[in-house]
Structure 1
Amino acid sequence: MRLIDSSLAAAFIVSSLVCGASSPGFAGEFNRVLSPGDAMPRWEALEGVDGKRHAAADVAEAKCVVVAFTCNSCPYAVDVEDRLLALDKAYPDGTVQLIAINVNKVAEDQLDAMKQRAQDKGFEFPYLYDPSQKIAKAFGATRTPEFFVFDQQRKLVYQGSFDDSPSGKDIKTHYLKDALQATLAGKEVTLRETVPIGCNIRYERQRRRRRD
């Protein structure tokens, strides 16, 4: 039995039809690349809003890593920002490390705009930019926001939405927080995948070469 809120499932089906997505070839229930238990894709030398280059090795000491694909321009991503700030502040000892990554290349999502957004909101977690978009593809990320939780062995224990309320109102189930609490307590995560609800990541289209 798939443990997923029916309204979110319906939203996923609608968005998939609109975007022309098809179900065959998925690794997880809602991800074409990663499924629970897979190793965390690595990133190297991604520039952050702090002016430094960041790598996956920087968070080697954390017991859990949360990777959030997000951006400035999507209203769903904006709605989750306060929840990201609260999550980051809940683990000041570094037990959980939050990494936010943006790969969109439109003007409002580029690095200068990211720096301004991070300053305005008071982000203290790394907010990284990958204009190559390779890291998002390695995760199979399709939405902003979309979340991935990895345990101390950097195995995927949860992927999908932050919680059951894209707007952050009337939250009934805290998907991501529940996954973190179970993992930190050495317990199995019962709900490991949910539908990511948000804007499409703006992947660049690859032009097909004309055959001679």
Structure 2
Amino acid sequence: MVLVESDSELTRGDEAPAFELPAADGETYALADFADYEALLVVFTCNHCPYAEAKVDELNHLSESYDDLAVVGINPNDAEEYPDDSFERMRERVEAGEIRYTAYLRDESQDVAREYGAVCTPDPFLFERDGDAFRLAFHSRIDDAMNPDAEPERYEMREAVEALLAGEEIPVEETPSQGCSIKWIED
């Protein structure tokens, strides 16, 4: 396991790169499918990393607590090397109710992860709807528990979402997320 910190090329105000990916619920979702939401939380995540696993409950909470927020998990990991990250395993977790995000998508080509500049799991990007586009509002960690066994004291992404949906300034400093490195497919 390689621990890395998030370091995307996207900066505040940048438009969310478009995507169209298959989801664990059997559908295919494009960025435009979330246009009815005021905010979009795109999280590059997976099934096997303990850092990503430690955030599933909070991501489920965010998905279920805010009607104007879409929580989209995207799993870009090499499923051949990491079978726990297979599309089949993603479907099992969604069907079992373990993962209840708005959508849990599979980025098999890893092109979407590259476009966003994602480097770790979890790597969360919070976007605000701006007309027909989503613009980056906050690229930071989900909470202040930086170790999978730690209990969070501050739910930073929750605070950011609440401020964004209320039309207020986000009161939280951006702190890079950290987790397992994305498992890139060897060329």
Q: Which has the higher helix share?
A: 1
Task: Flag the structure with larger Rg.
Answer: 1
Q: Which residue of 1 aligns with 2:40?
A: 65
RMSD between superposed Cα atoms in Å: 2.0
Q: Which residue of 1 aligns with 2:70?
A: 97
2:25–2:94 contact (8 Å) kept in structure 1: no
Aligned counterpart for 1:41 among listed residues 8, 11, 17: 17
Q: CA deviation at 1:168?
A: 7.0
Q: For residue 71 of structure 2, give the secondary structure of its aligned residue in structure 1.
A: strand
- Separation in 2 of the partners of 1:32 and 1:88? 23
Q: For residue 178 of structure 2, give the secondary structure of its aligned residue in structure 1.
A: coil
Matches within 5 A, 1:151-170: 151-153=128-130, 154-166=134-146, 167=148, 169-170=150-151
Question: After superposition, what is the alpha-carbon deviation per residue over 1:22-54, rounded to whole angstroms, capped at 9, x for unaligned?
Answer: xxxxxxxx524111111111102x111111111
Question: After superposition, what is the alpha-carbon deviation per residue over 1:58-81, rounded to whole angstroms, capped at 9, x for unaligned?
Answer: 000100000111111111111111
Q: Which residue of 2 aligns with 1:52?
A: 27
Aligned counterpart for 2:84 among listed residues 108, 129, 132: 108
Q: 1:98 to 1:127 in 2, by over 3 A?
A: same
Matches within 5 A, 1:166-205: 166=146, 167=148, 169-191=150-172, 193-205=174-186
Q: TM-score, normalised by structure 1?
A: 0.77
Q: TM-score, normalised by structure 2?
A: 0.87
Q: Which residue of 1 aligns with 2:111?
A: 134
Q: For residue 139 of structure 2, give the secondary structure of its aligned residue in structure 1.
A: strand
**Higher RCO, 1 or 2 (CA under 8 Å, sep at least 6)?**
2
Q: CA deviation at 1:194?
A: 1.3
Q: How many residues align?
A: 178
For structure 1, the 5+ residue unaligned runs are 1-13, 22-29, 207-212
Q: CA deviation at 1:160?
A: 2.3
